[in-house]
Amino acid sequence: MSQLFSTLFVLSLGAQRCLGHSDSRSEKVIQCLTTSNVPQALPGTPEFAKSSSPHNLRLQFTPLAIAVPSTVSHVQAAVACGREHGVKVNAKSGGHSYGSHGIGGENGHLVIDLKLLNEVVVDPCTHIATVGSGAKLGNMAIALDVQGKRSIPHGLCPKVGVGGHVLHGGWGYSTHNHGLFLDYLEEVQVVTANSSVVTASKTQNPDLFWALRGAGMSFAIATRFKFRTIPQPAEIQLFYIPFVWTLPQAKTGWRVFQDYVASKARPKEMNIRVVLSSGAWVGAEGTIFLFEGAYHGSKADYELFIQPFKDTAMALGGFADFLNYPDVTSVGYMDSLLYANNNALLYPLPDAEQLESGPDDQISWLWIVSAIGGPNSVMSTISAPNSTSYSHRSSLFLWELGDQVNATSTYPSKAGIPWVNQFVDIVERKEGKKLGMYYNYADPTIGDHGAAGRRYWPGNYERLVGLKKVWDEGGVFENPQTVGR
């Protein structure tokens, strides 16, 4: 059985920006925040425009109001204002949701922008890191480095917010040997729908803790996390092995890759993914298959353990050093962050003709297939099965399917979205079932609440619905794809 995770991160400036809400509800919420002394970004100000500007420019929404709390009591008061006036409330941490869910995923929400809650403190004895939910991954990594050369596995983009990333997974170049970001969460302080401050951990409110680790945005506003940390790896090999392959080469090469990552020949320390895109941008015909990753260990060991894959792939031809990078570089942990910016699809690359050209000359596409599972991966052992609401522990691959136009063009939704989705359809037809999706790669095209939820949290969705009724019966924390009630 296979699972495919997909996203459409289509960028366009073509969408019309809505002009702010000036209805009385907006005025009432703003008044309520003002009376409660909650700092705000007021509509019409540059700060409001900045806070409501999405990463995915195709999905622009206008919040009713934006609170910018600097204390937990501000968060409590802001949640109370939303609840009192019947306005849906969403946390925004780093604003990197592909579905623009940090700003509500639709117009008219109260956004709680957590950017001021960004402190990172490492206890020198326990090495537990206390991290504000509005911190960014890059800032957190630097603070962990400065305060004792510690680390936590997490994603590659330094501007992604800790809040959204950890509450829904968080894979990166340490996941195959150390797990997901959420596997390191020991405790979380949240503000609930009734404005209470609650601690969730394995011993305190364990059901809520289970739900927060996978589907957090549906249940509360997380304000502070406590993470277990690990020593930084001493040495990392960042590697790049690029090919431009014709369709026959690609079909065999894909099989070679998946056989390697699904075998015990790949050691735990080999974090590897493949980035696919059109060869056109390097002036070549065919599809680029850029195998890249981070090996935790020495260069000699990397060479030894990559050899079974590399030799077989090289024999197919098409090696293309278009990157002008050295194919492997030894770096320290911090440099690896700087420079690296279930189950398998265990059958031949399906009907891959569509990969040879995009849907449209103006659209460029980039697919990233990360092999985070496999027989030597810690993914299925680092946390007990079903100990969190994250549902995809047994998956070999995590796919990210995206296309984009440049920021001065209008994204042709009618051409681009069906083009990406047809790949998902082909795989699902072959599998004979719907595939799982990763909420951190939110895809608004898979439907709302229940339809989306059964894809994001397969096997766990019904339990999540039950817990939603316990913790947020009135639906204070909602976006179009939150867990239904």
Ligand X SMILES: Cc1cc2nc3c(=O)[nH]c(=O)nc-3n(C[C@H](O)[C@H](O)[C@H](O)COP(=O)(O)OP(=O)(O)OC[C@H]3O[C@@H](n4cnc5c(N)ncnc54)[C@H](O)[C@@H]3O)c2cc1C
Closest distance of CB 171 from ligand X, Å: 4
Q: Among 344, 329, 334, which residue's Cα sits nearest to residue 295?
A: 329
Rg (CA), the chain: 22
Closest distance of CB 362 from ligand X, Å: 21
What is the 8-class DSSP label of residue 477? B
102 binds ligand X (CB under 6 A): yes
357 within 8 A of 390, measured Cβ to Cβ: no
**In this structure, is the dihedral angle defined by the CA atoms of residues 258, 260, 262 and 268, taken in order, positive or negative?**
negative
Closest distance of CB 122 from ligand X, Å: 20
Query: Taking the CB of residue 381, how many other CB atoms lie within 10 A of it?
Result: 10
Query: Taking the CB of residue 379, how many other CB atoms lie within 10 A of it?
Result: 25
Stretch that binds ligand X, among 72-80, 139-147, 151-159, 345-353 (CB under 6 A): 151-159
172 binds ligand X (CB under 6 A): yes
Question: What is d(CA 355, CA 51) in angstroms, rounded to the nearest whole number?
Answer: 36
Residue of 396, 440, 457, 460 interacting with ligand X (CB under 6 A): 440
CB nearer ligand X, residue 226 or residue 310: 226
Residue of 11, 167, 262, 372 interacting with ligand X (CB under 6 A): 167
Closest distance of CB 216 from ligand X, Å: 5
Closest distance of CB 256 from ligand X, Å: 25
Stretch that binds ligand X, among 58-66, 141-149, 168-176, 286-294 (CB under 6 A): 168-176
Residue of 6, 93, 177, 205 interacting with ligand X (CB under 6 A): 93
294 binds ligand X (CB under 6 A): no
7 within 8 A of 98, measured Cβ to Cβ: yes
What is the 8-class DSSP label of residue 183? G
Binding flags for ligand X, 204-243, as an x/- string (CB under 6 A):
------------xx---xx---------------------
Write down the H helix ranges in 237-386: 247-261, 299-314, 333-339, 353-356
> What are the b/e assignments for 219-228, b being 16+ CB within 10 Å?
bbbbbbbbbe
Stretch that binds ligand X, among 91-99, 267-275, 316-324, 420-428 (CB under 6 A): 91-99
Beta bridge partners of 65: 110
Q: Give contact residues for ligand X (rule: CB under 6 A).
A: 55, 90-98, 101-102, 114, 133, 155-157, 160-161, 163-165, 167-172, 216-217, 221-222, 440, 479
